[in-house]
Structure 1
Amino acid sequence: MRVASRVLILVRDAAGYGAALADAFRPTPGLTREFAPLELPLDKYGLHGEKASGELVNFSDSSGSPQVSFFVLPDYKPPVAACAMNEILALISSEAPSTQPTLIVPFITRSLNYYHGMIQGAKIGQFATLHGAEIGETTEFTQMLIDGTTKPPQSLQMHSEPILCLLEMVRVLNIPTVLLVASGGNHQGKSSSDADLEVLQCVGDHLARHINLEFIKETVLGRRIEKSPVFQEPWRELYR
């Protein structure tokens, strides 16, 4: 299972942003898009019968060499989340052609209420806001990715177990990683679908410029964003 040296980690979050973002990228001329199911057993962690499942999407050149890889993953819950992300990182490290792959982790939300005491961010268009942070080792590519963004505030909260686990691991392993936080805020007079499209286009356009792919916003409009029922443990409300 070949993996490119530039890897996006996308989670199928309840709001539907991760799946919509994964579907909206298309290969530029000279590249092809290939899909492969992903199943990694977690028996060694004592989670018998559990697997790190998902999908690997490779954008490959004419020789079949992956140039960009997407891991599109379920919204894992504890204890599967930490074990699954550890296996994903092990797979990337063993299969990427570079000894130092770069990870890109988008986190998308429509509401600025997720940020307490938020500072003003970099504006993309009229409404959407984009923040970027380097985690792990800094490289020329990671610096290019955060150029034009603003560092997220320390009070940023992310209710995504897979992403939180991943970020802790890459800090320890010192893997070059960029966290991109996109938000559209709450704007009176804007429909839910318009706000969704703006926040997705914010991060999609930014990524497309740096990973040589096309972001097709019409794909988001055509498929609509598939939202899932949200269940959140009551204790989380204490930390909002």
Structure 2
Amino acid sequence: MAFHFPLRTQSVGSSAYYAERITEEPHPQTNNKNAQTTVTLMYQTNIVGYCRNVKILWCKNLMNHSLSILVNSTQGNFQYSCKIDLKPWHFWSKKGYKSFEVEGSQVDVYWDLRSAKFTSGPEPVSDYYVALVADEEVVLLLGDYKKKAYKRTKARPALVQPLLIYKKENVFAKKSFATRARFDEKSKEHEIVVESSMTGIKDPEMWISMDGVVLIHVKNLQWKFRGNQTVLVDKQPVQVMWDVHDWMFSSLGTGHGVFIFKPVVADAESDKEGSSQEGDSDAGSKYYSTLSPATASEFSLFLYAWKIDGETLSGKLRRLKVSSNVFFVYHDQDGFGNAIARALSPTPHPCSKAFELVDLELGDAKLNASITQFMDGENLKATMVMLDHLEPPLLSQAINSVLTKIADAEHIPSTVPTIIAPFLVPASKLKLEGRLFTTNSGKLPLYSIQVGPETDVSRAIAAKTQKPPPSLQIHYEPLACFLHLVRAANLPTSIIVGQRSQSPFNQALSEDLQTLYEIGQLAASTTGTYFQREQTSTNWIPTAKPASGGGVGEPWLAFYG
């Protein structure tokens, strides 16, 4: 097969090429409700006989998660694209196959993200594959499940290995911005973290670390908001450039810091002397050319660090104080949430519950969430956040605002708050392979969904419940929305799911009450609180029977995708 390289004469190291790459995509939305995190990977690989640029774009925002693949034409003036929507609560969208044409030839895309591990960004970090196949060759393979990818595609490895030119990532955070990169094909992947401290207005600082080691420490950031420094990574010099002007002098959420990491050739003594012109470093950045490769990698990393602040972007709300156990209770129309809220108590004895309302300013809508602090004397045993029944799109915005406040809340030192979220779901809203989710036993089991880092509470709940089937489809809007948003926030969370009975009404009432008791007892026993069972029989009488339909015609499904 003949290979053509019509664009190879364009230097990937030229300044004009980098300027075009930095500005070619629009900035992500910076509104806290619609902020879109993105990871862009640009490869050069051979497709249909020509060396082409292939852009991989991972996007994630409040409602959607997608993967886009864009392949340049031979002249570079047109892009062939394929978009994959990774619906967060639809299991079947996480493995699939698509085809698209590149200048008349078929290109196939295979993916399997069912077991993929994610951190806070939209790009998976392990346990997945995405394969691009053309002319019976895997011309581009992403992920670590390589054997599975070759087995499924039945295609041979590419004769010309893809070249990663750059990675560009947009990260939203308050103080700490993390990304990952490999500066050489033979080296390991490094974790890069940029941290800043603006509290001391006379002396703001910034740290850039790699794999937990601080390589650059910039003091007096108000004067040194632009700079560059060369550090040693895997015996290879890497030039680090930064511009955080907007951090210092723009309104929060309207600007970003830019960080560029570029491997360079270590052959000039002047580079060593001038590499720290605008930055002070507590860690030495000198290197020796005898330890470095003769040529530098063409790869570059671009990190766009967008600063957000709960005080500004979450509706100017004051910071909450929460316990290590945080109950999230949704006030559904049937009154299940209200019954749970009334029955939970710090102790079986007379005690105090400190109650307050927290404003959730969502654009023109002014909504409240109720916060109840469970006090045992002067000890804070648990915090309950209760959200009233809402319709989309306000529901998702309100849940996101509540989760933002919990993530930003003051909590007991040396502890990680765990969110416990109980839900009682109509039977028609849980499906398995398109059919109603039923159980062979007469007793309806409790399920738990674990999200984020494990804690003692989440492990205790998991030990007393069942894990739902991987292919379970959730058509209950409040639960599906909460699950999606808490996964995006990656907060330690245990979601307890009970299923409404399908028996005749009188029997169903008794069975539903029993399920409510079990949910309440489980939540209380694992958090050191108390569930007053006698309260539920008077505070909850179901008013609606589960709908007979599958829920697929509800308008919220179209809204969420």
Q: Name 1:56's counterpart in structure 2.
A: 371
Task: Check whether the contact 1:197–1:217 (CA below 8 A) recurs between aligned residues.
Answer: no
Question: What is the identity, as a one-letter code, of the residue corresponding to 1:68?
Answer: A
Question: What is the identity, as a one-letter code, of the residue corresponding to 2:516?
Answer: L
Q: Does 2:425 align with 1:106?
A: no
Q: Quick one: distance in 2 between partners of 1:230 and 1:151?
A: 23
- SS of residue matched to 1:127: coil
Question: What is the identity, as a one-letter code, of the residue corresponding to 1:235?
Answer: G
Distance 1:76 1:155, change over 3 A: same
Q: Quick one: distance in 1 between partners of 2:334 and 2:343?
A: 16
Larger Rg: 2
Q: How does 1:1-240 map to 2 (within 5 A)?
A: 1-28=320-347, 29=349, 32-42=352-362, 47-48=363-364, 50-63=365-378, 65-98=379-412, 100-109=416-425, 111-117=426-432, 118=437, 120=439, 127-153=443-469, 154-161=471-478, 163-187=479-503, 190-225=506-541, 227=543, 235-236=553-554
Task: Check whether the contact 1:128–1:202 (CA below 8 A) recurs between aligned residues.
Answer: no
Q: Quick one: distance in 1 between partners of 2:508 and 2:502?
A: 10
Alpha-carbon offset, residue 97 of structure 1: 0.9
Question: What is the identity, as a one-letter code, of the residue corresponding to 2:553?
Answer: W
Task: Check whether the contact 1:2–1:66 (CA below 8 A) recurs between aligned residues.
Answer: no
Task: Check whether the contact 1:60–1:67 (CA below 8 A) recurs between aligned residues.
Answer: yes
Task: Check whether the contact 1:12–1:19 (CA below 8 A) recurs between aligned residues.
Answer: yes
Q: Quick one: distance in 1 between partners of 2:393 and 2:408?
A: 24
Task: Check whether the contact 2:445–2:466 (CA below 8 A) recurs between aligned residues.
Answer: no
Aligned length: 228
Alpha-carbon offset, residue 182 of structure 1: 0.9
- SS of residue matched to 2:453: coil
Cα deviation code 1:164-219 (max 9, x no counterpart): 33322221222111111112532358434313311211201111111122212221
Question: What is the identity, as a one-letter code, of the residue corresponding to 1:88?
Answer: V
Question: What is the identity, as a one-letter code, of the residue corresponding to 2:420?
Answer: I
Task: Check whether the contact 1:127–1:185 (CA below 8 A) recurs between aligned residues.
Answer: no
Q: Quick one: distance in 2 between partners of 1:211 and 1:234?
A: 36
Q: Quick one: distance in 1 between partners of 2:543 and 2:384?
A: 20
Q: Which of the pair is proportionally richer in helix? A: 1
Q: Quick one: distance in 1 between partners of 2:504 and 2:493?
A: 35
Distance 1:6 1:158, change over 3 A: farther
Alpha-carbon offset, residue 38 of structure 1: 2.5
Task: Check whether the contact 2:461–2:494 (CA below 8 A) recurs between aligned residues.
Answer: yes
Give the root-mean-square deviation of aligned CA atoms: 3.2
Distance 1:95 1:139, change over 3 A: same
Q: Which of the pair is proportionally richer in strand? A: 2
- SS of residue matched to 1:95: coil
Q: Quick one: distance in 2 between partners of 1:189 and 1:80?
A: 32
Q: Quick one: distance in 2 between partners of 1:234 and 1:145?
A: 31
Q: Quick one: distance in 2 between partners of 1:36 and 1:67?
A: 16
Distance 1:92 1:30, change over 3 A: farther
Task: Check whether the contact 1:20–1:225 (CA below 8 A) recurs between aligned residues.
Answer: no
Q: Quick one: distance in 2 between partners of 1:37 and 1:238?
A: 27
Q: Which runs of 5+ in 1 are unaligned?
A: none
Q: Quick one: distance in 2 between partners of 1:83 and 1:224?
A: 28
- SS of residue matched to 2:521: helix
Task: Check whether the contact 1:204–1:215 (CA below 8 A) recurs between aligned residues.
Answer: yes
TM-score scaled by length of structure 2: 0.37
Alpha-carbon offset, residue 119 of structure 1: 6.6
Task: Check whether the contact 2:457–2:527 (CA below 8 A) recurs between aligned residues.
Answer: no
Q: Quick one: distance in 2 between partners of 1:234 and 1:168?
A: 18
Identical columns (%)? 23
Comparing 164-173 with 219-228, greater Cα deviation is found at 219-228
Task: Check whether the contact 1:36–1:57 (CA below 8 A) recurs between aligned residues.
Answer: yes
